[in-house]
Amino acid sequence: MRTPLIAGNWKMNGSTALINDFGSAFADVSLPEALEIVVIPPFPYLEAARQSFRNTPLQLGAQTLNPNGSGAHTGEVSGRMLQEFDVTYVLVGHSERRELYRENDEQVFDRLLAALHVGLKPILCVGESLAERDAGQTMDVVLRQVGYAMARLEPEQRQQVVIAYEPVWAIGTGRTATPEQAQEVMAGIRAYQAGFSATLAEQLRLLYGGSMNAKNAAELLAQPDIDGGLVGGASLKTDDFYAICQSAG
Catalytic site residues?
94, 166
Nearest to 120 by CA among 146, 84, 96: 84
Distance CA 140, CA 144 (A): 6
Measured in degrees and rounded to the nearest 5, phi and psi for residue 131 equal -60, -40
Nearest to 31 by CA among 245, 195, 226: 245
| Amino acid (one-letter) located at 218 | A
Plot region of 156 (φ>0 → left; ψ -120 to 50 → alpha; else → beta)? alpha
Q: What does the alpha-carbon distance between residue 126 and residue 185 come to, in Å, rounded to a whole number?
A: 11
65 contacts 114 by C-beta, under 8 angstroms: yes
Q: Are strands 87-92 and 58-62 parallel, antiparallel or unpaired?
A: parallel
- Give dist(CA 103, CA 96) in Å, integer: 9
Q: What are phi and psi of 229, to 5 degrees?
A: -140, 145
Helices and strands, counts by H and E, the chain: 12, 8
- Give the distance, in angstroms, between the CA of residue 133 and the centroid of all CA atoms in the same chain: 21
